[in-house]
Amino acid sequence: MNAIIFSALAGVVMMYSGIITSKKTVIKYIAAIALVVLIAANLLQVYGIWQISVDTRDMLSFEKFGLVFNTLAFTATLIYVLLSGKEIENAGVNVAEYFALIFFVLCGVSILSSFNGLLMMFLGIEILTIPLYILTASDKRNLRSNEASLKYFLMGSFSTGIMLMGIALVYGATGSFALHTNAPVALSATGGIKASFLEVAGMILMFVSMAFKVSAAPFHFWTPDVYDGAPGVFTSFMATVVKAAGFIAFIRLFEGHTAILGPTWKILLAFVIVATLLIGNVTAVFQQSVKRMLSYSSIAQAGFMLFALYSSNDMAKEGLLLYSVAYSLATIGIFAVLIKLKDYAFDDFNGLGKTHPALAFATTVCLLSLAGIPLTGGFFAKYYMLASMVKEGGPLWLLIVAVLFAAVSVYYYFRVIQAMYFKEGTPSVQTEITSGFKAGMVLLAILIILLGIAPSLVLNLFYF
Amino acid sequence: MSKLVYLVPLFPLLGFLINGLGRKSLSKTMVGIVGSGAILASFIVSLCIFFDVKEHGATVVNLFSFIRTESFSIPFAFQVDQLSSVFLLIITGIGFLIHLYSSAYMHEEPNEHFGRFFAYLNLFVFSMLLLVLGANYVIMFIGWEGVGLCSYLLIGFWFKNDNYNYAAKKAFVMNRIGDLGFLLAVFWLLFKLGTVTYGDVFANVAQLSTFDITAITMLLFVGAMGKSAQLPLYTWLPDAMAGPTPVSALIHAATMVTAGIYMIARSNILYTLAPATQTVIAVVGLATAIFAATIALKQNDIKKVLAYSTVSQLGYMFLGLGVGAYTGAVFHVMTHAFFKALLFLGAGSVIHAMHHEQDIRKMGGLKKYMPVTHITFLLACLAIAGIPPFSGFFSKDEILMAAYGKNPLYYYIGLGGALMTAFYMFRLYTMTFLGNFRGTHEQQHHLHESPSAMTIPLIVLAILSVAGGWIGIPDVMIEHGHQLEHFLAPVFAESAKLAEHHHLEASTEYMFMGVSTVAIIIVIILAVNAYRKYQDNGAENTGLGKVLENKWYIDELYDAVIVNPLNALAGFLKNVVEKSGIDGVVNGVGRLVGYGSRQLRLLQSGQVGNYILVMVLAMVVFVLIWFNDQTIMDFLSKIF
């Protein structure tokens, strides 16, 4: 409860901070402090020291998994604000509002990590999404930003409709919004679990809607357009913290209910995973803009995260936390560098290795992590995903396909490394690069490598 | 004290890091102090450990878990016992003297390369210590590979010379061939016993069939052949002379080549249970001893003679191992380390004085210019020739006596080799130090004794070469004279129980000693007489002499039989198989992905209507699959 209350409060505080001061930097620091407070408040609840108790009539339940995810998400946001704060300041006029919206998104994240009923889940998703529509359009005079926002809104509404329809059907079948009452109804004669038509149909609709949120194929179409059109600094946020929260909600929603869906569930999920990996990885190969490449890469990474849903055992949940952290940190790092460059083309990175060796090194580590090279966090993230799938008895060919697509991903990630180190040129750095930023990036790289050497750092959080 | 054993390899590792990272900024003095000091510190700890072991016996020190799986675990543990503590003393003691010597010998190198040299030396010693200390075959293998790497780095130290690089590569490849044998043996052990820890392996040898033991020991021996330069994998060692002379001393005396001996002595129980392998080892060792000695007879490069002499002496050690005289082999490792280090450092001193001239035909008469080098070199020659009471006499005698007990023929052939050893060593000595100087006038002008940093190690080693054998005086001469044997007895206890004992009559033993000593002295006199008045008349060797000078044409043989066919095969694979086959497939995959990317991109039309249409269609398909179409279900469930 601490996380939900404090993030909402922080959002309100941020809105008023715009009235008190017009200095953008001050607002940024207020946001950073608010984040620290938020993390501290959440940690207090994680360790069971102090928490605000509100009777939610079992609509929310605070488990360690969700609370740990909150901590990780808030920390990732803090790193994001520290690294890309300058760009948030410059994204538009109303800086205080942007930070306020980010905190409202975090409020949605906290709800999604603790909902115990369909209604709360719906609320969480909407609280999470609506600020994003606005953030996408924050570059008001830019036509592409507006277009992206409108597209996002149109398709988002469509998916919300589907979600609501699904919830309505499930409610009709079971008479409850609660997650854990719609457990298996009866066993059929053949030993399979028989659930009512309405309930299964409702689940399918919710699945479609959630697949849309996490940009799984073939419901991913909004992702490249929106990520590409939105201001880079907000794309970074959307592609990381928000996406990870979507997965947490996804796995919380379906965990323990897949039996109702029957064996077809796994087949269709495998199809969705393969389609997501295929479209994400293969389409990314041809992109000419790093930003657009990264949005396809986020689809590809979503394909990997879907394995957690496929196996949905304890290992998968641990792995998903690790994946969220490894993927978010790496993506935040790359975007932090990317948005300092003039446009988002591969050529912009030419010669970065010579002019900014520290930045190039950190970016390389981030890219290696995304590609899943050993000694970076990304390797163990992918490993846990695949291992949990194997543990659950998933088919071998699925594993091979996943690994092959991971190999394809090396191609487009390494194009950036190639540009940085093997091509001549002067990178067009727009914003001034402070030594603090460099130090931050190097620390980020070290953190990613640390995760790659001792993934138990994150996994132990889950157990301790 | 044994608990602190990790300090022994830690110091050289730190030395390596400091010198390696600071090679550009540290001064030469500093580098020398760090490099030599690290080994000295290790030596002091090793001494303490030695006395601790002598007092309290052996222990295994567990540091941390290195590899752990469900079915087996490999701890990172150190074996502190009699055998390893003796080797620790040899490695760090002689290693330190060589480091000290190098700080003067390498002084002409530029700052950065000086630091690099010492970093490599320290790493070399570190690897060797790891090899010796490891309490299982995997840790040993880490050191085993480490010394291989370091020898490569040091032989090719002057990397601007292509020939030196070639020699370095040769050493590395030859060693890799042996390493493969070692690795297979380790896997075999792991497969059969589920453990590679010495204690567990030796306790459970009974579970292995004769075939397994023979195969494992043979494979391990292949590893030893590579590392300890035995037939047919010895050719890298003479070429390794390309490295700076202290490196040769280090490789030949303190590290690297003794690794094979150590490994077999460590695994003595396995070998005792595999008599077939023992016979192979004895025969290979003996053949190597003789073969290398014949080549050494006709070499004119001062370091080459010493190199072949090492190969030959290693042959004796393997003969000892093969006939079950493990103590004798370790004893010979020790004495050989003393006098061979001395010989190499002495040769280095000569080369230093002669401005990098290594051809003994152009030397002569150095006696009066370099008194310390001369005396110490002479003592080393007497030691290696096996004149009592110098150290080499006792160790070689012990091996030959044991060989006689096994098969008298071994003894006679071995004695023949020993006579050749005496001959080529004194040929070398005479041509270098006696007679008249045959070099250029300018060289003669610059002849000088080396600085004290070089002569002090020579003197220390000379004392050891003379007196080092006295810890192993045969029991027939002095009751309980063989202190080394009593010290090492626990390590070889199991083997000693199993092995058959041949006790020679004391009178027989005295007779053999007398005969061999007299024969050796006669050979020495012959050699000195033959070469005292040597003049370089430019005459080519003919007949057998030419064959020997060209090392039996073994390198040429390997080139013709192995290297050239392999090169041809590689050329075929490169030009035909790869160009037309593999490249096509690989590039084809790349092109396919690129094509797919261009096509899939078109799905992203930018029209929201299209997007939603596809989503709805997918949704409809999902619902259909779930509820209606049994045929689709059947079809899909067949695939998945």
Q: How far apart are CA B386 and CA B517, in angstroms?
A: 7
What is the average pLDDT value for chain B, to the nearest integer?
84
Nearest CA in chain A to B635: A267
pLDDT at A462 over 80: no
Other beta carbons less than 10 A from residue A21's beta carbon:
12
Q: Give A285→chain B minimum CA distance, Å.
A: 6
Letter string b/e over residues B398-428, b meaning 16 or more CB atoms within 10 A of that residue's CB: bbbbbbbbbeeebbebbbebbbbbbbbbbbb
Direct distance between the N- and C-terminal alpha carbons of chain B, in angstroms, rounded to an integer: 62
Residues whose CB falls within 8 Å of the CB of residue B640, separated by 6 or more in sequence, listed in order: A266, A267, A270, A395
pLDDT at B572: 87
**Considering the domain boundaries, does residue B254 fall inside one?**
no
Express each pLDDT in A386-418 by its tens digit.
Answer: 999 998 888 899 999 999 999 999 999 999 999
- Percentage of residues in chain A with pLDDT exceeding 70? 95
Interface test with chain B among A158, A206, A286, by most B beta carbons within 10 Å: A286
Query: CB-based contact (8 Å) between A200 and chain B?
Result: yes
pLDDT at B584 over 90: no
Residue labelled with tokens 């980020």: A444
Nearest CA in chain B to A408: B593
CB–CB contact A205 B619 (8 Å): yes
pLDDT at B548 over 50: yes
pLDDT at B60: 85
Which residues face B64 on adjacent strands?
A: B76
The answer to whether the Cα torsion of A36, A39, A41, A47 is positive or negative is: negative
Query: CB-based contact (8 Å) between A52 and chain B?
Result: no
pLDDT at B538: 65
Domain residue limits, chain A: 263-464
**Considering the domain boundaries, does residue B541 fall inside one?**
no
Q: Which domain holds residue B588?
A: 550-604
List the one residue out of B238, B236, B9, B249 whose CA is nearest residue B106.
Answer: B249
Q: How far apart are CA B45 and CA B9, in angstroms?
A: 10
Confidence bin at A191 (pLDDT 50/70/90):
very low
CB–CB contact A155 B608 (8 Å): yes
Q: Which of these three, B536, B567, B587, is where a domain ends?
A: B536
pLDDT at A303: 94
- Residues of chain A with Cβ-Cβ distance to B622 below 8 Å are 204, 207-208, 268
Cα B401 to Cα B71, B310, B410, B423: the distances in Å are: 46, 21, 10, 22
pLDDT at B432 over 70: yes
Query: CB-based contact (8 Å) between A5 and chain B?
Result: no
Residues whose CB falls within 8 Å of the CB of residue A154, separated by 6 or more in sequence, listed in order: B608
Which residues face B59 on adjacent strands?
A: B80
Do both B214 and B355 map to the same domain? no
- Percentage of residues in chain B with pLDDT exceeding 90? 5
The answer to whether the Cα torsion of B188, B193, B195, B198 is positive or negative is: negative
pLDDT at B629: 56
Interface test with chain A among B593, B597, B617, by most A beta carbons within 10 Å: B597
Contact A412, A280 (CB under 8 A): no
- Residues of chain B with Cβ-Cβ distance to A207 below 8 Å are 622
Lowest mean pLDDT among A69-83, B155-169, B538-552: B538-552
Q: How many CB pairs under 8 A join A and B?
A: 79
Q: Find the radius of gyration of the CA atoms of chain A.
A: 21
pTM above the 0.90 mark? no
- Given B618, B625, B627, which is nearest A218 (Cβ)? B618
Contact B361, B432 (CB under 8 A): no
Interface test with chain B among A222, A285, A398, A410, by most B beta carbons within 10 Å: A285
Do both B522 and B564 map to the same domain? no
What is the average pLDDT value for chain A, to the nearest integer?
88
Contact A335, A385 (CB under 8 A): no
List the one residue out of A217, A144, A74, A237 whose CA is nearest residue B611.
Answer: A217
Do both B599 and B640 map to the same domain? no
Query: What value does the mean pLDDT take over residues B391-413?
Result: 85
Query: What value does the mean pLDDT take over residues A428-437?
Result: 82
Cα A121 to Cα A86, A148, A210, A265, B241: the distances in Å are: 33, 25, 11, 21, 76
- Given A197, A221, A395, which is nearest B614 (Cβ)? A221
Cα B136 to Cα B24, B201, B562: the distances in Å are: 38, 9, 34
Confidence bin at A112 (pLDDT 50/70/90):
very high
Q: Give B183→chain A minimum CA distance, Å.
A: 25
Residues whose CB falls within 8 Å of the CB of residue B570, separated by 6 or more in sequence, listed in order: none
Residue labelled with tokens 């304890």: A314
pLDDT at B258: 87
The secondary structure of B80-147 as a DSSP string is ESHHHHHHHHHHHHHHHHHHHHHHHHTTTS-HHHHHHHHHHHHHHHHHHHHHHHBSBHHHHHHHHHHH
Which amino acid, one-letter code, is at A453?
A: I
Which amino acid, one-letter code, is at A138?
A: S
Do both B23 and B119 map to the same domain? yes
Which residues face B482 on adjacent strands?
A: B472
Q: How far apart are CA B577 and CA B590, in angstroms?
A: 19
Letter string b/e over residues A102-130, b meaning 16 or more CB atoms within 10 A of that residue's CB: bbbbbbbbbbbbbbbbbebbbbbbebbbb
Do both B517 and B563 map to the same domain? no
Confidence bin at B630 (pLDDT 50/70/90):
low
pLDDT at B472: 77
Q: How far apart are CA B134 and CA B37, in angstroms?
A: 23
- Residues of chain B with Cβ-Cβ distance to A200 below 8 Å are 626-627
Nearest CA in chain A to B605: A221
Query: What value does the mean pLDDT take over residues B320-340?
Result: 88
Do both B401 and B433 map to the same domain? yes
Do both B479 and B568 map to the same domain? no
Please report how many Cα atoms fall inside a 13 Å half-sphere around the Cα of residue B388, on the Cβ side.
16
Task: Report which DSSP code applies to A187.
Answer: E
The secondary structure of B23-88 as a DSSP string is TTTS-HHHHHHHHHHHHHHHHHHHHHHHHHHHHH--EEEEEEEEEE-SS-EEEEEEEESHHHHHHH
In this predicted model, which residue has the larger pLDDT, B501 or B276?
A: B276
Question: What token pair was written down for B28?
Answer: 């030469």
- Residues of chain B with Cβ-Cβ distance to A218 below 8 Å are 614-615, 618
**Considering the domain boundaries, does residue B301 fall inside one?**
yes
Task: Report which DSSP code applies to B355.
Answer: T
pLDDT at A186: 44
Q: How far apart are CA B122 and CA B107, in angstroms?
A: 17
- Given B593, B604, B615, which is nearest A282 (Cβ)? B593
pLDDT at B638 over 80: no
Query: What value does the mean pLDDT take over residues B423-437?
Result: 85
Confidence bin at A265 (pLDDT 50/70/90):
confident
Cα B63 to Cα A98, B3, B635: the distances in Å are: 54, 9, 57
Question: What token pair was written down for B413?
Answer: 């052939």
Express each pLDDT in B91-146 by its tens digit.
Answer: 898 889 888 888 888 888 888 888 888 899 899 899 999 999 988 888 899 989 89
pLDDT at A181 over 70: no
Query: What value does the mean pLDDT take over residues B386-391?
Result: 83
In this predicted model, which residue has the larger pLDDT, B579 or B630?
A: B579
Q: Give B590→chain A minimum CA distance, Å.
A: 9
Cα B328 to Cα B286, B319, B399, B485: the distances in Å are: 15, 10, 5, 8
pLDDT at B39 over 70: yes
Express each pLDDT in A200-259 by its tens digit.
Answer: 888 889 999 999 999 998 899 999 999 999 999 999 999 999 999 999 999 988 887 777
HEC sequence for A437-455: HHHHHHHHHHHHHHHHHCC
Contact B151, B123 (CB under 8 A): no
CB–CB contact A222 B596 (8 Å): no
Lowest mean pLDDT among B120-134, B194-208, B540-554: B540-554
pLDDT at B234: 81
Q: Phi, psi (5° rounding) for residue B215?
A: -65, -45
In this predicted model, which residue has the larger pLDDT, B441 or B410?
A: B410
Question: What token pair was written down for B605?
Answer: 């039309």
CB–CB contact A205 B608 (8 Å): no
Q: Give A418→chain B minimum CA distance, Å.
A: 17
- Given B604, B622, B626, which is nearest A224 (Cβ)? B604
Please report how many Cα atoms fall inside a 13 Å half-sphere around the Cα of residue A97, on the Cβ side.
12
- Residues of chain B with Cβ-Cβ distance to A155 below 8 Å are 608, 611-612
List the one residue out of B593, B612, B602 whose CA is nearest residue A277.
Answer: B593
Q: Give B189→chain A minimum CA distance, Å.
A: 29
Q: How far apart are CA B263 and CA A448, in angstroms?
A: 41
- Residues of chain B with Cβ-Cβ distance to A212 below 8 Å are 615
Do both B425 and B468 map to the same domain? yes
- Residues of chain A with Cβ-Cβ distance to B618 below 8 Å are 208, 218-219
pLDDT at B539: 66
- Alpha carbon dihedral B343, B348, B354, B359, in 10-degree steps, equals 60
pLDDT at A187: 41
- Residues of chain B with Cβ-Cβ distance to A146 below 8 Å are none
Lowest mean pLDDT among A6-20, A425-439, B417-431: A425-439
Query: What value does the mean pLDDT take over residues B338-353?
Result: 87
Express each pLDDT in A358-373 by its tens digit.
Answer: 899 999 999 999 999 9
How many domains does chain B fold into?
4
**Considering the domain boundaries, does residue B138 fall inside one?**
yes
Question: What token pair was written down for B365?
Answer: 């008469």
Which amino acid, one-letter code, is at B538?
A: G
Contact B313, B343 (CB under 8 A): no
Q: How far apart are CA B415 and CA A7, in angstroms?
A: 90
CB–CB contact A266 B623 (8 Å): no
Query: What value does the mean pLDDT take over residues A58-80?
Result: 91
Nearest CA in chain A to B616: A219
Do both B5 and B123 map to the same domain? yes
Helices then strands, each counted (H, E), chain A:
20, 2
Letter string b/e over residues B273-298, b meaning 16 or more CB atoms within 10 A of that residue's CB: bbeebbebbbbbbbbbbbbbbbbbbb
Distance of CA A458 to the CA centre of its chain: 17
CB–CB contact B596 A212 (8 Å): no
pLDDT at B543 over 80: no
List the one residue out of A73, A169, A177 whose CA is nearest residue A123.
Answer: A177
List the one residue out of B228, B509, B484, B492 whose CA is nearest residue B331.
Answer: B484
Angle between helices A118-136 and A243-254 (to 10 degrees): 160
List the one residue out of B177, B176, B181, B186 whose CA is nearest residue B267.
Answer: B186
